């Protein structure tokens, strides 16, 4: 008797015994019986042809029935099932056949079961990888949706806040005009100055929010003009002098050969970037500290390096600070002063700076040995800006000279 015949001999006992030992409930048993019948016929085919690959479809179908809990726990329920199937089959062979036939059939079945173990392990790990990547995809799309609704919220909130703020500004100006001829007392002037300061600060925050929504939606438009970076830095040095003096800090702007070179860029936006970075340097450096601006010319680029002797930034936070609404440390302790020591803002300045610099085709990053409020290791911000000698629009026009010509048929 060959192995296929021996298999057919053991089938009645096999199909009667195995569902009983592998399934507890009668309903499940019926279902399992149908599955086992299919498994057995594929087992016969694989012994007949010597190709255990015949078992693959049913093994794959079993693996695809893994539950989410099984996929998440990483525990296999199919491998113990196959092991039990193999042990029961071995038992049936010995109960049904004589010792020699049983030994021959069991050794003929071994490669098929070995193949089943291997395939189940493969299909299971594939099912797990698919499950995890599906979960990741879902998490990513949830994050993208959240980010989009955050962006939408910022845009809507900024526009909605701007209208009432303009009203407050208008009424405050009218009040000032009304009171001025009668020479108000100092107390009233203080109150009106307070309103003006508050509205100015609120306006700056709203403008930052609008910039963030422009950057996040790729809508930031640059107004390219000839720019001399050393002049921008000089403007800022004068603008910030009041604050550096107040804090007893020394702000030094170094010159370098070629620093007066002209480049095409958006001067207002570049001023905004440099102002944000320099204001941070003032804010996160203790009184009497030093801030310096160095630069160097690289092929096609200028690198502006702003170094401070402040509290520093931990390496793991050095990229996070460029994300919107990032404020390191204890947020509750932050004061709202613009240049006060550690007086935090809404955490938008560096995100906007990054958006503007990237829109210019440049890069911005931070370096620091770490955060230490006792030893003040300092931080260094690098701004890499492309040097453009020709207006971007005229360069495009030159590269595509016939763009505006009417299309003529040959």
**Site for ligand ADP, rule CB under 6 A:** 276, 280-281, 284, 308, 310-311, 313, 321, 326-328, 344-351, 379
Q: Provide, rounded to whole angstroms, the least separation between the CB of residue 310 and ligand ADP.
A: 5
Axis crossing angle, helix 3-22 with helix 26-49, rounded to the nearest 10: 160
Q: Provide, rounded to whole angstroms, the least separation between the CB of residue 139 and ligand ADP.
A: 26
Measured from the CB atom, the residue of 111 and 347 that comes closer to ligand ADP is: 347
Q: Provide, rounded to whole angstroms, the least separation between the CB of residue 154 and ligand ADP.
A: 14
Q: Provide, rounded to whole angstroms, the least separation between the CB of residue 274 and ligand ADP.
A: 12
The 3-class secondary structure across the chain, one letter per residue, is CCHHHHHHHHHHHHHHHHHHHHCCCHHHHHHHHHHHHHHHHHHHHHHHHCCHHHHHHHHHHHHHCCCHHHHHHCCCCHHHHHHHHHHHHHHHHHHHCCHHHHHHHHHHHHHHHHHHHHHHHHHHHHHHHHHHHHHHHHHHHHHHHHHHHHHHHHHHHHHHHHHHHHHHHHHHHHHHHHHHHHCCCHHHHHHHHHHHHHHHHHHHHHHHHHHHHHHHCCCCCCCCEEEEHHHHHHHHHHHHHHHHHHCCCEEEECCCCCCCCEEEECHHHHHHHHHHHHHHHHHCCCCCCEEEEEEEEECCEEEEEEEECCCCCCHHHCCHHHCCCCCCCCHHHCCCCCCCCCCCCCCCHHHHHHHHHHHCCCEEEEECCCCCCCCCCCCEEEEEEECCCCCHHHHHHHHCCCCCCCCCCC
Q: Provide, rounded to whole angstroms, the least separation between the CB of residue 314 and ligand ADP.
A: 9
Measured from the CB atom, the residue of 111 and 369 that comes closer to ligand ADP is: 369
Q: How far is it, in rounded angstroms, from Cα 36 to Cα 33? A: 5
Measured from the CB atom, the residue of 263 and 309 that comes closer to ligand ADP is: 309
Measured from the CB atom, the residue of 109 and 233 that comes closer to ligand ADP is: 233
Q: Provide, rounded to whole angstroms, the least separation between the CB of residue 261 and ligand ADP.
A: 27
Measured from the CB atom, the residue of 4 and 318 that comes closer to ligand ADP is: 318
Q: How far is it, in rounded angstroms, from Cα 302 to Cα 299? A: 8
Q: Provide, rounded to whole angstroms, the least separation between the CB of residue 356 and ligand ADP.
A: 13
Measured from the CB atom, the residue of 188 and 303 that comes closer to ligand ADP is: 303
Q: How far is it, in rounded angstroms, from Cα 208 to Cα 347? A: 10
Measured from the CB atom, the residue of 263 and 379 that comes closer to ligand ADP is: 379
∠ at Cα 247 (186, 259), nearest 5°? Answer: 120
Could you tell me the sign of the dihedral formed by the alpha carbons of 21, 27, 33, 38, in that order? Answer: negative
Q: Provide, rounded to whole angstroms, the least separation between the CB of residue 239 and ligand ADP.
A: 17
Measured from the CB atom, the residue of 172 and 276 that comes closer to ligand ADP is: 276
Q: Provide, rounded to whole angstroms, the least separation between the CB of residue 322 and ligand ADP.
A: 7
Measured from the CB atom, the residue of 36 and 251 that comes closer to ligand ADP is: 251
- Do 249 and 291 meet the contact criterion of CB atoms below 8 Å apart? yes
**Residue at shortest CB range from ligand ADP:** 345
Measured from the CB atom, the residue of 349 and 362 that comes closer to ligand ADP is: 349
Measured from the CB atom, the residue of 137 and 200 that comes closer to ligand ADP is: 200
Q: Provide, rounded to whole angstroms, the least separation between the CB of residue 312 and ligand ADP.
A: 6
Q: Provide, rounded to whole angstroms, the least separation between the CB of residue 308 and ligand ADP.
A: 5
Q: Which of 217, 189, 384 is nearest to 296 (CA)?
A: 384
């Amino acid at each position: 008797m060959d192995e296929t015949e021996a298999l057919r001999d053991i089938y009645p006992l096999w199909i009667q015994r195995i569902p009983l030992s592998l399934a507890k409930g009668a309903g499940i048993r019926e279902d399992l019986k149908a599955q086992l019948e299919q498994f057995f016929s594929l087992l016969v085919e694989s012994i007949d042809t010597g190709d255990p690959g015949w078992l693959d479809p049913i093994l794959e179908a079993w693996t695809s029935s893994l539950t989410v809990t099984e996929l998440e726990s990483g525990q296999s329920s199919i491998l113990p099932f196959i092991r039990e199937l193999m042990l029961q089959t071995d038992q049936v062979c010995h109960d049904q056949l004589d010792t020699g036939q049983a030994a021959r059939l069991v050794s003929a079945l071994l490669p098929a079961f070995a193949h089943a173990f291997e395939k189940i392990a493969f299909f299971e790990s594939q099912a797990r990888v698919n499950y995890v990547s599906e979960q990741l995809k879902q998490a990513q799309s949830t994050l993208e949706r959240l980010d989009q609704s955050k962006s939408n919220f910022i845009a809507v909130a900024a526009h909605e806040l701007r209208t009432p703020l303009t009203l407050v500004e208008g009424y405050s100006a009218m009040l000032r005009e009304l009171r001025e001829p009668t020479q108000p007392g100092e107390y009233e002037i203080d109150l009106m100055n307070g309103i003006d300061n508050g509205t100015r600060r609120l306006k700056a925050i709203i403008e930052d929010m609008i910039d963030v929504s422009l950057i996040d939606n790729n809508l930031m438009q640059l107004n390219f003009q000839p720019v001399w970076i050393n002049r921008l830095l000089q403007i800022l040095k004068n603008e910030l002098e009041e604050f550096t003096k107040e804090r007893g800090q020394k702000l030094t702007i170094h010159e370098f050969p070629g620093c007066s070179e002209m480049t095409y860029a958006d001067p207002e936006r570049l001023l905004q970037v440099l102002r944000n970075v320099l204001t941070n340097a003032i804010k996160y450096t203790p009184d009497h500290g030093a801030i310096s601006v160095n630069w160097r010319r690289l092929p096609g680029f200028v690198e502006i390096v702003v170094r401070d002797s402040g509290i520093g930034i931990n390496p793991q936070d050095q990229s996070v600070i460029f994300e919107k609404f990032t404020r390191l440390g204890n947020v509750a302790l932050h004061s709202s002063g613009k240049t006060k020591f550690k007086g935090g803002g809404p955490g938008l300045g560096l995100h906007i700076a990054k958006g503007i610099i990237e829109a210019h085709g440049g890069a911005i990053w931070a370096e620091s040995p770490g955060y230490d409020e006792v030893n003040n290791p300092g931080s260094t911000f690098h701004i890499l800006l492309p040097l453009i000698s020709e207006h971007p629009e005229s360069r495009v026009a030159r590269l595509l000279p016939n763009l505006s010509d009417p299309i003529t048929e040959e």
